[in-house]
Chains A and B, each alone.
Chain A
């Protein structure tokens, strides 16, 4: 496996909402969102640098000819049950973005859709997180989507996607993993059962880059599920 495939296999939430025409955020106004606190940004950078070093050490082989290689997925990660949840909870606290203006919600859980995650893409500064998404940090939320095919039959976490992964036209290349995804941690003691029907997740939403130096797992949006419901 090449370095790039592993790396992108681990990045759960990154760029290119615009890649999917139908996934694009409506409205064209580009707005500046308050950046990560400096210390947080540095922490992220340090974690990523460490990740790079470890990935490089593992992967410096057979890079040739793999541009047409098999589809990489974020499921190359072999975490034991419970490990991912612990990692995410331990690393995300320092990496919280702040909204421009906090939105107060009358009641929880708050329903949020994937297409409400971002306010757009500034070509010089990247994706702009929406106030709604950032304001929901730590709040109870409801999110619907599709369960990406799991790595193993039973896991306590999975990736939720806006569209069925198999129908995602740009998911087939390493560098084009979509933005419209969230990492879902199952309620304690429960594991996932794969389904190709849409699912509705209710739980505590956490926003902000979570980077684990050991596994390199990076996520931007996580839901600690209380309920997982299969729809339709």
Chain B
């Protein structure tokens, strides 16, 4: 647990000496760009560990450079000296110099406001942090956070309606419909009104609103994307304060942004950082269960099929650290049946796992990976391992491919994975009711997509039409829409999309140039292709019978993008009432921390 290094709060000395050693330069009095991380209005639990960085974008620190917290020298407040760093960033032909002081692994132990003032060249930059009152009462032993990546209210509505609706009433409601309490969460980022899955999942897991692509950290300008100032995760707090177990389940490569947010720290969710995140998970010491895809990032680069950029064999390292390793549903079930599993690494695909529709209907799309567990299986397996800990557990379960299939505008694959997500929630809720009623279950999305249904399509008419006008004539709205007729003959809760003759007129409100036929695709959709010059044009092999839809993104975009909408928050169990209201999604961290009675300043 290298990041969590608790500090002595007594070492308030020798800072002036340090400051005098710095190479001060003469800088004319002008406003220098100053970056303070964590940012203004950042919120903390008292005693949560974080890094504090101040950057001044100048050739040298000005003579009057000073950093205070509530009027006292920052180093005295935190009890350690900063490390001075220097770099340049930006375009090579016009680099910007940066000078930085960073205080690593500090805490703000007392509730209240912390006003940070940075003086540089006669100007003062002021930032206020808020340290919140901690909860003193633990009401939940376990927390399961379900995250459907890219899920929105319209996708939930569509999934419910696809499962059956008559006389305006749904006939086979979702588990999410039974939530005891419901709230709304906004999703914007520090640097953008929009968000991605890295900083949204990071907000859920740390309570901090970061920059797009950043996980467990505030983005600085330094060249190293792994040295950005860190903030502490819920998993770290739950582990070190309560001795809880921590687990991560996803249908993505488990180094992907959403699962990694449980433990990872880095600015860029891209390949290099993802490989580092897998090492961080091992080194964190608090992630006990990891399940998903991503084998190619665990095998050394010397092996064909690897995506690592070093020679580490992480399978071997996880095994040496005590993890039971499984690579198929059969192996997973056998390991659990044999017992004695305290930590588990389940890796079921080289890349992201396949979606429900391909695992269960279009199985030709699986290639050789025909024995992948479903999300419900993985969730229950993780619970079985984690619930052995009497101190409780924190488990994050992600349905990754609601998002991964809405990007390429694949309605049926996205909605099927949403239903699988819903069934995993039902299974977890049933487990909790039976075994651990002191389990708080929260289900939400990290961000939305622009999907909605505006009517139905008569497929016989649509497919018989000889031109686009005829195809558009087959789209029925208002009372003409009537009801879709997706059957569910086998009663598994998943519509047989392929057997319907009246289907959703469901589209995504942004995307590249493409065609849309509203029908399930036997292969995962690829709506647009590169024309060879980086311009994405309609893929003639995707929905060839569809109506043309003009792109509303730049011509280099191959798929749709995330949208701004607030996302729903559903909750069951002790502490669930706190999700009511409208807040930024970072509040969900504090709701979970409160339910666990986490007060890092007081210790366990």
Contact = CB atoms under 8 A, between A and B. Distances in A.
Contacts of B309: 7, 48, 52
A21 B523 contact: yes
A125 B213 contact: no
Interface stretch (B108-116, B446-454, B529-537): B529-537
Given A18-B369, A21-B367, A167 B301 contact: no
Contacts of B211: 64
A176 B351 contact: yes
B196 A126 contact: no
A16 B211 CA distance: 31
Contacts of A30: 368
A6 B223 CA distance: 16
Interface in A112-167: 120-121, 123-129, 149, 165-167
B534 A70 contact: yes
7 contacts: A4-B270, A19-B351, A27-B368, A65-B213, A121-B305, A127-B305, A129-B304
Given A25-B368, A60-B223, A166-B531, A124 B305 contact: no
Interface string A174-199: 11100100000000000000001000
Interface-centre pick from A30, A121, A165 (highest chain B CB count, 10 A): A121
Given A48-B302, A64-B268, 15 more contacts: A15-B304, A15-B306, A16-B305, A18-B366, A21-B523, A22-B523, A28-B370, A36-B302, A45-B311, A48-B309, A49-B310, A61-B92, A68-B561, A71-B530, A128-B304
Chain B interface, DSSP helix/strand/loop, else mixed: loop
Nearest to B526: A169
Contacts of A127: 303-305
A230 interface: no
A201 B284 CA distance: 51
Interface stretch (B73-81, B342-350, B496-504): B342-350
A209 B303 CA distance: 10
B104 interface: no
Nearest to A172: B558
Interface of B: 89-92, 196, 211-213, 219, 223-225, 267-272, 295-296, 299-307, 309-311, 315, 325, 327, 347-351, 358, 364-370, 523-524, 526, 529-532, 534, 539, 541, 556, 558, 561
B227 to A, nearest CB: 11
Given A30-B368, A65-B213, A124 B295 contact: yes
B263 to A, nearest CB: 19
Given A14-B306, A65-B213, A172 B530 contact: yes
Contacts of B368: 18, 24-25, 27-28, 30, 120-121
A215 interface: no
A17 interface: yes
Given A19-B351, A25-B368, A125 B267 contact: no
Interface residues of A, number: 60
Interface-centre pick from A60, A169, A196 (highest chain B CB count, 10 A): A169
Nearest to A40: B302
A96 to B, nearest CB: 13
A225 interface: no
B307 A45 contact: no
B271 A7 contact: yes
A127 B77 CA distance: 54
Contacts of A100: none
A15 B530 contact: no
A2 interface: yes
Contacts of B213: 64-65, 67
Most buried by A among B223, B269, B309, B358: B309
A48 B302 CA distance: 9
A44 interface: yes
Contacts of A7: 271, 309
Given A19-B351, A67-B269, A124 B307 contact: no
Contact of A15 (B223, B270, B296): B296
Given A15-B304, A16-B296, A175 B534 contact: no
Contacts of B311: 45, 48-49
B94 to A, nearest CB: 12
Contacts of B267: 63-64
Contacts of B91: 62
Contacts of B367: 17-18, 21, 24-25
A132 B211 CA distance: 49
Contacts of A224: none
A166 B537 CA distance: 10
Interface string A21-54: 1101101101000001000010011001100100
A21 B365 CA distance: 5
Interchain residue pairs A-B with the least CB separation, the first 6: A24-B367, A15-B305, A126-B305, A127-B305, A126-B303, A18-B367
Given A30-B368, A67-B213, A166 B529 contact: yes
Contacts of A49: 310-311
A67 B196 contact: yes
Question: Which of B91, B295, B301, B349 has the largest number of chain A CB atoms within 10 A?
Answer: B301
Nearest to B522: A21
A75 B348 CA distance: 32
Contacts of A64: 211, 213, 219, 225, 267-268
Contacts of B524: 21, 169
A14 B303 CA distance: 9
